[in-house]
A and B are shown apart, each in its own frame.
Chain A
Amino acid sequence: MSEMKERREGYNKNESGKRLSKIITNSYMSLHQKASEGAFVVWIAIVVPPELFAGFDNVVYAVPESHAAMSAGKGVGPLQCEKAEQMGYSTDLCSYARIDIGTAFDGGKDSPTFGLPKPNLLVSNNNNCSLLVKWFDVYHREWGVPHFILDVPFCYEKQNTEDLGYIVSQLKALIKTIEDLSGQRFDIDKAREAVKLSSEAYKEWRRFLSFASHRPSGITAFDSFVQMAAILTSRGTMELKEHFRLLADETARQIDSGIFPVPGEKFRLYWDGIAPWHQLRSMSSKLAEYGANITTASYTYCIGTTEGETDLFAFDGKDPFHFLARSQNFSVCPYGLALRGKAMREAVNKNSIDGIVFASNRSCKVYSLMQLDEMEGIKKDLDIPCIMVDVDHADVRKYSESNVFLRMEALLEMIESRR
């Protein structure tokens, strides 16, 4: 009872939250340490599969997007952005990129993780967005670091076999590149094991997400935004699998004990867009005051699936290249309107969503440009209220809480009026 009285509504840091903090801290410390001891350092775009690096003895990786998200969450986003802008990078460029460039060229100053160790290889891809390629090219030119571009064809329909084969061949070429540059040999059995662990971790992740279907929801989408950080630092590890297993178990226990993030839940919402990293706590708390819970978000609900799906895509234990190539387009941005709409409808129905918030994000055109059409389609097909709000996921200077909540309130009123 005292725990319930002490809990604020909205996002709360529980045992899994504390464990997550340790995982993230240890990941970055280990990254810096191994890099200083001579490990081969790879910077990757978020969707590049790091399980492949587990096939090497001494290859470590960093995810600049993840670091940028953390920086935004810790409140240093604008500071880092300004550094990049003073170097001449336009304020219209993605805020993740500006944060990362600002951090990198100031030696990691003001970063919550002391920045990232300099890379020996950059690996970008273009399926989330081609902008990542241009971003990594900045480092390639300044530092003379080789840049491998993973070309993943966009999915307007389900991925076809030719595209799959093409991606597999590139993954193998990436392995060869790392072998040539690092002098290390690749062990496919180790990589296979890492892929197996990731797949098992995603199974637990989806079990955690499934508690959003409970009434009231056992989670908030803000929980999922925070917890996804572990995926970015620890794919392919037993630690990740265990963490998500414990996370799902803890959530199940909380539900059984009648502990919910928004106990007075009246409105179940869906967020379409990248997480607003600088607003996680305040947005979730403010929404909870209204009895509103963003239970589901496309940004995290897609993890562990394939394009347009909401069910787990599990590794069959056989060919890790095939699995990794097949699942390259799980993350919303690499697929088109029809597939996004399919996944959104399934999630809305599964989780009994009352209303949808489309987070139109000027830093992320790939996510945002289909949203007007998506919104009209959803309103027509599902007849549920939708709004569009203007956000920037990492640059708080482009966010107005009052404007966003004016629309949020309107959404809640629309939902209420239909009851």
Chain B
Amino acid sequence: MPMNSIYSAIKGLKDDGHRIIGCFPLYPPVELLHSMGLTPITLWGLRDRYRNVPLSDRHLQAYTCSVGRCLTEFVLRYGSETLDGIFMYNACDTLRNLPEILQNGLAEQSDSLPLLRLHIPTSPLSRPADAEYFRGRVRRLVRELEESFGTPFSIESFKKSVGLYRLQRELASRLQELVALGCISFNEFCRIMSAGNFLPVERHLEMLQNAGEQCDTSRDIGTDLPKIMISGILPPSPGITECIENAGLRVADNDIAMFKRAYSYTPPSATNPEDYYADLYSNHYPCTTILHTGDARVEVIRRSVREHDIRGFIFVGEKFCEYEYFETPYLRRVLEGEGVRMLCLDFSLEDDENIGSYRTRIESFADTLRP
């Protein structure tokens, strides 16, 4: 979706009466926000939509990752025109530094937005004291949402919202399976999944259901294409994804924070939000930003490589994301042990326009995977 489309879509929702809460990535508690009558949108996946970020550049140095810079640009550019509030949690060192910067930046424009925060512990909450602390934080967030937006919390509403997002995650998983079978392109999968960041979940469910139903199960892009996994915080831009698929590679699985890491796990029960989120964040699909899951991440990738007969691994590096880059050398060795080659691509702002050099590297990589 081009930026003006994203802007129009969100503005349209707001004009229709939706109360939009702009969430910092990666894994905000969307179910809770939705149950309180809000429409959560997650502010990432904007890199290929911005050529430059002048408002952000007044506040953030160029060595900030594009996720942080683009999020800042969006909030400062559109502020209360598109949003009714902002939610953040301690996802990473960069994002935790942003709330006051955004508030200052908005104030300069005589704008302001309520800001809600949640501290998510870095432990798996196996210690009772840690779990009780986190439950207290979630209960406090519920109170703050009630005070900020005037909607009382309802367990029935929460369970309904959980049901919607559970279905969204299930449909997303099935869509990835269809990609692995070659029934739908990874490019199309990325387009559909990325759109979900800026749509009400109900509309995204329609998109996912339609995509699954309309998928051409007779499509065969070649069962002998080398299978790869794509990993990173964000998906590659459409141009890069096209290069990958045009190079004759089939994306058999992904380890992308916006995609599989986000949709792979939903707690089985939702008796109350504090227990639900304690479960969700403790048992979350491994991610480099969920600090206690480092060991588990290597194992899930290894399992996927074996299950899907993956021969190649493309790391889509979000430049300046230490969380990803600290794990890459070890991951490379593990993959080499499985006979899997790794290609590392770095992306920062504007890099998505430089398709030529990436195409060359992707095509060379594809050549190495062919028997």
Does the CB pair A90–B119 fall under 8 Å? no
**Distance in Å from the Cβ of A109 to the closest Cβ of chain B?**
19
A-B contact count (CB 8 A): 131
In contact, A137 and B326 (Cβ under 8 angstroms) = yes
Interface residue count on the B side (C-beta < 8 Å): 46
Interface residue? B90 (CB, 8 A): yes
CB of A49 within 8 Å of the partner chain: no
CB-based contact B127/A369 at 8 Å: no
User: Is A366 a contact partner of B93 (Cβ separation < 8 A)?
Assistant: yes
* Stretch from B94-102, B142-150, B165-173 at the A interface: B94-102
**Which residues on the A side are within 8 Å of B322 (C-beta)?**
92-94, 131, 134
In the complex, chain B residues whose CB is within 8 Å of the CB of A372: 58-61
State the main secondary structure of chain B at its contact with A: helix
Which residue of the partner chain A has the closest CB to B62?
Answer: A362
Asked if residues B323 and A373 are in contact (CB atoms below 8 Å), the reply is no
Do A365 and B64 form a contact, CB below 8 Å, given A88-B328, A170-B130? yes
Is A186's beta carbon under 8 Å from chain B?
no
Which one of B92, B129, B319, B332 contacts A166 once the chains associate, using CB atoms below 8 Å?
B129
Which one of B22-30, B193-201, B216-224, B290-298 is at the interface?
B290-298
| B54-69 at interface with A (beta carbon < 8 Å) | 58-61, 63-64, 68
State which of A169, A338, A368 has its C-beta within 8 Å of the C-beta of B130.
A169
* Chain A stretch 362-386: residues in CB contact (< 8 A) with chain B: 362, 365-366, 368-373, 377
| A-binding residues in B (CB < 8 A) | 58-61, 63-64, 68, 90, 92-94, 96-101, 104, 117, 119, 121-123, 127, 129-130, 133, 136-137, 288, 291-292, 294-295, 298, 319-320, 322-323, 325-330, 332
- The answer to the question of A180 belonging to the interface, with a C-beta cut-off of 8 Å to chain B, is no
CB of A54, distance to nearest CB on chain B (Å): 24
Chain A residues with Cβ under 8 A from B61's Cβ? 360, 362, 368-369, 371-372
Per-position binary interface string of chain A over residues 299-343, scored 1 when its CB falls under 8 Å from any chain B CB and 0 otherwise: 000000000000000000000000000000000000011100000
Name B292's contact: one of A89, A149, A169 (CB within 8 Å). Answer: A149
Q: List 28 A-B contacts (CB under 8 A).
A: A87-B329, A92-B319, A93-B326, A126-B291, A133-B122, A134-B294, A134-B323, A134-B326, A137-B327, A151-B121, A151-B123, A153-B90, A154-B119, A156-B100, A162-B137, A163-B119, A165-B129, A170-B123, A170-B130, A337-B104, A360-B61, A368-B63, A369-B68, A369-B94, A369-B97, A372-B60, A373-B101, A377-B104
- In the bound complex, residues from chain B placing their C-beta under 8 Å from that of A368 are 61, 63
Q: Are A365 and B63 in contact (CB under 8 A)?
A: yes
Which B residues are CB-close (under 8 A) to A165? 129, 133
| Residue positions of A touching B, CB distance < 8 A | 87-90, 92-94, 97, 126, 129-131, 133-135, 137-138, 140-142, 149, 151, 153-154, 156, 162-163, 165-166, 169-170, 173, 336-338, 360, 362, 365-366, 368-373, 377
Give A259 to B226 CA distance when docked, in angstroms. Answer: 74
* Chain A residues, CB < 8 A from B288: 134
| B123 smallest CB distance to A (angstroms) | 6
Provide the residues of chain A in CB contact with B123, threshold 8 Å: 149, 151, 170
Task: Evaluate contact between A151 and B117: CB separation under 8 angstroms.
Answer: no
Instruction: Choose from A92, A138, A163 the contact partner of B63 (Cβ within 8 Å).
Output: A92
Per CB-CB distance, the 8 closest pairs between chain A and chain B, nearest first, are: A88-B329, A169-B129, A134-B326, A337-B100, A166-B133, A369-B97, A151-B122, A90-B325
Which residue of the partner chain B has the closest CB to A370? B97
Instruction: Say whether, besides A134-B322, A162-B136, A365 and B294 are in contact (CB < 8 Å).
Output: no
